[in-house]
């Protein structure tokens, strides 16, 4: 498993991050949308996940849900719109969004505190971009069995390390998953994965699991897991080398310049390049017109045409985006292979 060292320094930094964290700050609290790299079509991540759940056809019309790490409640709102008869419980580290969350139809309460202190069981436990923050994911998943109904399900979504090198840059992401390691963690946690998807949301891994009927006879995958771990280690080394190339590319590009996007990769690159960056370009209507890191956020049609625009995305994705935006005559710079 690829993990950041869980040192005292890391724990202190994570606490500092969470104490000042604002959900979807770049969009004024509105959930980030996911774009099709070829067409530009967009849909909020939560809506994509709920649509995927609907297609699986495994949830009854009524039930009880626990959303662990619910943020400001965007998934709860999307789920409740499609499953209005479900009762939903939210769980977070603090109460900063309590009023907003508890105003969502179907939400019974916001729970703050240990999961073990909950006195009820659930039909669906949701971990959307939560498990990667956990230093011991196997132990954590095992602990959820005590609050899951016998036929209950767990929904997990995490970043795909193989598809997204930028996941390494997220300071509070402790555990970084590939398809193989995520499936192995679920298996070793005495759950059976019965739905798995790597394209529900681009660069994310999504799965549904249920408690294993015979936990003591879970398939032994030690050999393949060790092979996968070695492969993943090599992949991480390659990711880091590639990220360093992107920084060097930005440093050798004439300034001032712009950066495409306002999320993780763009934030990281802007911090690495400092005052060379004078603007951002984004296609998310909730972000366009705002300021970020002291710079304006333009729509592609309004971005400066005479300045370089770095696209800190995986090379194939950046190439597709550049081709799609070609009619705006932007000076796009694609990351090296």
- Domain membership of residue 203 (yes or no) is yes
- Domain membership of residue 248 (yes or no) is no
Same domain, 73 and 160: yes
Same domain, 189 and 137: yes
Reported confidence tier of residue 216, pLDDT bands at 50, 70, 90? very low
- Domain membership of residue 265 (yes or no) is yes
* CATH code of 112's domain: 3.40.50.150
* CATH code of 301's domain: 3.40.50.720
Same domain, 177 and 276: no
- Domain membership of residue 181 (yes or no) is yes
Q: pLDDT of 226-259, one tens digit each? A: 556 667 778 889 999 999 999 999 999 999 999 9
Same domain, 220 and 265: no
- Maximum CA pair distance of the chain? 64
- Domain membership of residue 231 (yes or no) is no
Same domain, 103 and 217: yes
At 19 the pLDDT is: 84
Reported confidence tier of residue 223, pLDDT bands at 50, 70, 90? very low
Same domain, 261 and 220: no
Same domain, 46 and 155: yes
Which of 178, 208, 225 is the last residue before a domain boundary? 225
Residue 37 has pLDDT above 80, yes or no: no
Which residue is associated with the tokens 């009619």?
327
- Domain membership of residue 243 (yes or no) is no
47 backbone dihedrals φ, ψ, rounded to 5° = -65, -35
Split into its structural domains, the chain has a count of 2
Contacts of 264 (CB under 8 A, 6+ apart): 166, 167, 169, 170
Same domain, 269 and 124: no
The arithmetic mean of pLDDT across residues 179-194, rounded, is 94
Residue 172 in 3-state DSSP? coil
At 227 the pLDDT is: 53
Same domain, 216 and 258: no
Same domain, 168 and 41: yes
Domain region containing 306 = 254-333
Same domain, 261 and 135: no
Residue 309 has pLDDT above 80, yes or no: yes
Same domain, 142 and 287: no
At 81 the pLDDT is: 96
- Domain membership of residue 161 (yes or no) is yes
Please state the length of the chain. 337
Q: Can you tell me the distance from the alpha carbon of 92 to that of 126, in angstroms, rounded to the nearest whole number?
A: 12
- Domain membership of residue 268 (yes or no) is yes
Strands 87-92 and 107-112: parallel
Distances from the Cα of 78 to the Cα of 70, 89, 137, 196, 225, angstroms: 12, 14, 26, 21, 35
């Amino acid at each position: 498993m690829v993990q950041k060292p869980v040192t005292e320094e890391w724990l202190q930094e994570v606490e500092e991050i969470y104490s000042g964290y604002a959900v979807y700050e770049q969009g004024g609290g509105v959930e980030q949308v996911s774009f099709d790299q070829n067409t530009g079509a967009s849909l909020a991540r939560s809506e994509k996940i709920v649509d995927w759940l609907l297609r699986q056809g495994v949830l009854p019309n009524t039930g009880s849900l626990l959303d662990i790490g619910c943020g400001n409640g965007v998934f709860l709102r999307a789920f409740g719109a499609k499953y209005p008869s479900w009762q939903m419980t939210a769980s977070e580290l603090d109460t900063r969004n309590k009023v907003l969350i508890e105003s969502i139809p179907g939400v019974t309460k916001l729970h703050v505190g240990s999961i073990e202190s909950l006195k009820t069981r659930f039909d669906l436990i949701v971990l959307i971009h939560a498990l990667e923050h956990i230093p011991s994911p196997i132990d954590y998943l095992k602990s959820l069995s005590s609050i899951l109904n016998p036929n209950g399900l767990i929904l997990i979504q995490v970043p795909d390390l193989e598809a997204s090198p930028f996941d390494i840059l997220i300071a509070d992401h402790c555990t970084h998953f590939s398809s193989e390691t995520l499936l192995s963690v679920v298996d070793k946690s005495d759950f059976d994965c019965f739905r798995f998807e790597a394209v529900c949301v681009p660069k994310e891994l999504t799965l549904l699991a249920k408690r294993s009927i015979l936990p003591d006879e879970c398939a032994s995958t030690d050999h393949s897991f060790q092979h996968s771990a070695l492969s993943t280690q090599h992949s991480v080394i390659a990711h880091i080398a590639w990220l360093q190339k992107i920084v060097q590319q930005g440093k050798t590009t004439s300034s001032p310049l712009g950066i495409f996007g306002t999320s993780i990769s763009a934030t990281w690159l802007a911090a690495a390049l400092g005052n060379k960056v004078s603007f951002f370009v984004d296609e998310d209507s909730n972000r366009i017109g705002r300021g970020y890191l002291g710079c304006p956020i333009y729509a592609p049609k309004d971005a400066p045409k005479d300045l370089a625009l770095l696209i800190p995305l995986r090379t194939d994705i950046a190439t597709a985006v550049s081709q799609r935006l070609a009619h705006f005559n932007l000076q796009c710079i694609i990351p090296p292979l």
